[in-house]
Structure formats: C-alpha cells, structure tokens
Amino acid sequence: MTTRIDARFAELKQQGRSAFVTFVMAGDPDAKTSLDILKALPKAGADVIEIGMPFTDPMADGPSIQAAGLRALKGGMTLRKTLAMVRDFRKDDNATPIVLMGYYNPIYIYGVDSFLADAKAAGVDGLIIVDLPPEEDTELCIPAMKAGLNFIRLATPTTDDKRLPAVLANTSGFVYYVSITGITGAATADSKVVAEAVARIKRHTKLPVCVGFGIRTPETARAIAENANGAVVGTAIVDVVRANLDAEGRATPKTVSAVADLVSALAQGVRGAKQAAE
C-alpha cells in the first residue's frame, strides 16, 4: 500500500529535490487560528506537515514547543479535536501528507484501536511517537502499520550501527534524524556532521532520511537539504506564532501571514539546495 507520504517522496525524487517538512502544534494558539495556519502551509511551500499532539509532559521538546503545547491545552485542544482539525484540512487538501507527532500517553488513554481507526478516517498518514522504542513495537507501531499508517522512527547522533537495524526494522514513510543531542530548539545543526550521519543511515535503509532539530533559517535548511531527503522545521515556526500574539496570548491579524511568510522563505531555502547524488 502506498501512503501519501510514499507518493510525495517519490514525486520529489523525480523532481530532484528534498522535502520541506513543517511542524506546528495543534490548537496553538486556538483551534480556528491553528486550522488557518495548517491550511496556509502547503501554499507557502510545505511538502509534508507534522502536527504536534499537545501533551502535558513533552520530554523531548524545548521551551518553545512546550509553551505551544501548553497554549493549546489551555485553549481546550484535545486529541479528538486534533483529529477533527485534520478532517477539516482534508476537505480542501487530499494530497499533502499529515504526520501526527507526540507521545504515547494520550493515544493510550484514547485507546489504540479506536485512535488508529479515527486517525486513518480523518486523513492522517503517519505517526512519530517520541517515547516508544522499537522494543515496544507491539504497543502501537505494528498495529499502526496494519491500519495503513506509516510509523516514522527517530534516529539520533547516539544511534550507532549496532542499534540502527532495530530502529529501522518496522519504520516506514521516512526516517527522522535528530541532528543534535538534546531538546528541540537547543542548538543549530552542523550540516557537515549531519551529512556524515545521513550517509551512514542510508547505508542501512532505502527510506528517505529527513533531518530535524536545529534548523531555523533558509540558509541552514538549504545546507541540510543538500544531503538529506528532507529538512524539518518546528521551533522557528512555533516562535513566529508566539511572536505574533497579543499581550493576552491571543491571535492577531498578523499571526497566520507571519507563519506563511517564514515558511515561504524556508521553503525557498530547501528548494535552492543542490541535491546530492543518491
């Protein structure tokens, strides 16, 4: 079965360019503005969209994304409302891949089978669940694959050649390489170090390798995209949302357009990359 993620990466490979993957937090700063931002992303140049599922204890997220999740939770965002947002997005866009990113606890509370059925029906294509290692594949990964969803695994600078096969065993869609050790937004990715890591991962898999954490500017996005199949930007986008809220943390007339402007600039950076030979 080919998912939207598989189709999108195949299409980009034919075009000879890398993917620009954007991350936004569902419900930040409120449900309506969040949906408006989501709808604006493909037009601004996003090839794949990751949507954060707000959670009270996001251990891999830096201060910016933690704050976005708290804003969303304060505004009443839930996992069910996140799926409803995807359904609304799909009314106008049936092509852009959607990946839900977050933690296992909300899915466990929802009920794995119910969640997978509802996510698939809503138009979700893949999952990135930060706190489920390969040893727990029977919990969600394998059921997700059977439901027709890609399960995207994280590889990190500390994932050595001995560990990589386990990480890649049931991974599909793409591999998400975390370019730095630590939390999101904590440092800037080093493109030379990332290039070596991507090459090493590619020796173990034919899946696309996308790089996230530490990409904030069009220049860094371009440098990363020259060696990876995709560049993922989250913190910089979330920071622009925050910077365009009023004193009470509410959306302003500039919120959506400011995000779209940044995404457009970052997308141009990715599209300017000279794709390395496979």
Query: Does residue 61 have an active-site annotation?
Result: yes
Query: Does residue 137 have an active-site annotation?
Result: no
* Residue 269: partners with Cβ closer than 8 Å, 6 or more residues away: 217, 218, 219, 220, 221, 222, 225, 231
- Active-site option among 61, 118, 125, 226: 61
Residue with tokens 């599922």: 53
- Active-site option among 6, 50, 118, 226: 50
Number of neighbours of residue 65 by Cβ within 10 angstroms: 26
* Residue 47: partners with Cβ closer than 8 Å, 6 or more residues away: 8, 12, 19, 20, 21, 96, 97, 230
Residue with tokens 């994932």: 159
Q: What is the 3-state secondary structure (H, E, C) of 211-246?
A: EECCCCCHHHHHHHHCCCCEEEECHHHHHHHHHCEC
Q: 69-72 long-range CB contacts below 8 Å, 24 or more apart?
A: 69/25, 69/28, 71/25, 71/27, 71/28, 71/29, 71/249, 72/25, 72/26, 72/27, 72/28, 72/29, 72/34
Could you give the residue numbers annotated as active site?
50, 61
